[in-house]
Amino acid sequence: MSDKATLSPVEGIKVRSRGLRGTLEASLQNQLTGQLAADDQQLIKFHGTYQQDDRDRREERERKKLEPAYSFMVRLRLPGGDLTPEQWIGMQELADANTTGTIKITTRQTIQVHGVIKSKLKPTMQWFDRYGLDAIAACGDVNRNVCAGAHPAVSAFHEEVHAFADKISTHLLPKTKGYAEIWLDGERLDEGAPAEEDPLYKDVYLPRKFKIGIAIPPHNDTDVFTNDIGLIAIEEDGAFAGFNVAIGGGMGATHGNPDTYPRLATVIGFVTPEQTLDTVWQIAAVQRDFGNREDRKQARMKYTIDRMGVDAFKKELESRLDFALAEAKEFAFESRGDIYGWTQDHAGRWHYTLFVENGLVRDEGEYRLKSGILALAERGGCKLRFTTNQNLMLVDVADADKADFEAILQEYGLTEAQRAASNVRRDALACVAMNTCPLALAEAQRYMPSFLTKVEALLAKHDMAEQGIHIRMTGCPNGCARPYVAEIGLIGRNPGRYNLHLGGDALGQRLNTLYQEDADEGMILETLDGLFGRYVSEREAAESFGDFTARVL
Ligand code: SRM
Ligand code: SF4
């Protein structure tokens, strides 16, 4: 155990919090400021929300001697990304009433809203609750939203596997009733009474955020190897046999700090469906006990594993389980991007994947995405599902209803927008960055669309307009759009300047590497122009752009 004196300050906040309660209620009631007390700014993350301020307005507010324009981002916990149409309608009404109005589909298959002022936080949480939704553990040093492969048509046992997202999320939820107490006027813990016992998180929680993703081969839409725990569904004789377990994935790094790095998860074995919940629980417990609690930049499980060694970590895990992991089974990924448009599954049900650029749900001119999704939800007769590629699916549409949905998609300009988007645009990801993310060093989702227009022009110049290349952009090296597994990764360095990473594969199985540092748009486009030209003339048969750059550079 670490010496108390050297623990990171967040550790003390967790331990003192009495089940994540802290002084949150008092902070929320303080009407003199739009922000929370410092400790509560950390604690509120465990309740699925972050305090932010409008970075576009910082200077103006400072000039006027006003405090920053504080507001909160609130993120739903939504294992597997599923919402009912009624829940979507409720979320859209909420977005119009309490937030900027835009709903953001995230890279972890859920939605978040921005611009919620302090006085509207509790009503927002209560709104979620009315629709059977919550934000507990959507952020913070706990297991976060569990992602699962979104596309029902990729496997006959898709539903069985997809259901594990919810099972795992529930199994690893914090036991505190602090969330209900603070936001939902739940029963209060007696003054001075200890917080609820939590066998997994105890009073220390995990050293850092913790993420679990499930992939169903041959599709790796969840980028399974970028998770702390990646579960790869294994088929035997046409049925679901269990999961290969991969541990220690993570994307975040810090510019100039070589001790931080992205890492792909290492496959350590195979477990049956019955062994899965125990296994993920105990992996989290090993990380709880062995993770670094002094330096938060070394606290993710990937560093724990690299410090201990994979074999020692696995040995510790197995000492806590009453079984040993079996040898990992064969699997193969063949695709990663979303499968757009209509697909039909083994049971004959229809599913439609709708392209949502950078996950931003709002109306823009003729392209009335938000109104269109509302009309689809009001039509009913399907489930809504978010994908880890920031898109939206209509799931389980009956044959007889398909034409109705198609008509709505056309009426709101959605079919046309989807058809017009190039392959690179449809496969691209960008994180939030400006104007809300406090860590952004450069733009991402606000800049990506115009950047891609220039890339499309370059591709057309080289007769590759139809080419698919995974391009991902983030405003800083934390990697929220998983840029280190992109074929072209752009990682914000300074305003208008990015580190260009190349050489990731198209399936999320190989990290890219730094090719050009602190480059502006002109430099990046010049580099890509040259490389696209070489790709056309030097590529091997069926070689992806990522594989090509990894081979020749
Ligand atoms: Fe992230 C922090 C947004 C997925 C790695 N991320 C943040 C914060 C909360 C900034 C902050 O700490 O104050 C960003 C809020 C911006 C805003 O204004 O909304 C933020 N992360 C996002 C989202 C919304 C990006 C998006 O455009 O979709 C994604 C929300 C996912 C969700 O629903 O839970 C998001 N973040 C990711 C991913 C991708 C993934 O998980 O598949 C990663 C890389 C994988 C990983 O965790 O290693 C990721 N976010 C980070 C990190 C770096 C963690 C690290 O190990 O160093 C931070 C910073 C931190 O934790 O200190 C961060
Ligand atoms: Fe913010 Fe950086 Fe994450 Fe983008 S990658 S949302 S800039 S923390």
Residue with tokens 């301020």: 53
Would you call 385 a catalytic residue per the annotation? Answer: no
Would you call 147 a catalytic residue per the annotation? Answer: no
On whether the pTM is more than 0.95, the answer is: yes
Of 432, 445, 485, best ligand 2 pocket probe by most atoms within 8 Å of the beta carbon? 432
60 and 219 in contact (C-beta within 8 Å)? no
Whether pLDDT at 2 is above 60? no
Judged on CB neighbours under 10 Å (0-12, 13-18, 19+), 6 is: exposed
- One of 104, 139, 476, 493 is an active-site residue; which one? 476
pLDDT band (50, 70, 90) for residue 85: very high
Whether pLDDT at 172 is above 60? yes
Q: Where in the chain is the domain with CATH 3.90.480.10?
A: 341-423
Would you call 454 a catalytic residue per the annotation? Answer: no
491 and 516 in contact (C-beta within 8 Å)? no
Q: How far is the CA of 411 from the centre of ligand 1 (A)?
A: 35
Q: Closest ligand 2 atom, CA of 475?
A: 7
The fold adopted by the segment(s) 426-552 is Sulfite Reductase Hemoprotein; domain 1 (3.30.413)
Q: What is the pLDDT of residues 394-414, one digit of tens each?
A: 999 999 999 999 999 999 999
Q: Give the pair of three-digit tokens for residue 283.
A: 């992996």
What angle in degrees, to the nearest 10, is found between the helix axes of 310-320 and 301-308?
A: 100
Q: Give the pair of three-digit tokens for residue 313.
A: 């970590």
**Ligand nearest to the Cα of 251, by number:** 1
Q: Closest ligand 1 atom, CA of 302?
A: 56
Nearest CA to ligand 1 atom 18: 437
Nearest CA to ligand 1 atom 57: 252
Q: What is the pLDDT of residues 87-129, one digit of tens each?
A: 999 999 999 999 999 999 999 999 999 999 999 999 999 999 9
Q: What is the pLDDT of residues 283-306, one digit of tens each?
A: 999 999 999 999 999 999 999 999
**Which architecture does CATH list for 341-423?**
Alpha-Beta Complex (3.90)
Protein residues whose CB sits closer than 6 Å to any atom of ligand 1: 50, 52, 73, 75, 106-108, 110, 112, 144-145, 209, 211, 226, 250-252, 300, 359, 431-432, 436-439, 478-482
Q: Where in the chain is the domain with CATH 3.30.413.10?
A: 1-8+141-337, 426-552
74 and 135 in contact (C-beta within 8 Å)? yes
The fold adopted by the segment(s) 1-8+141-337 is Sulfite Reductase Hemoprotein; domain 1 (3.30.413)
CA–CA separation, 313 and 415 (whole Å): 49
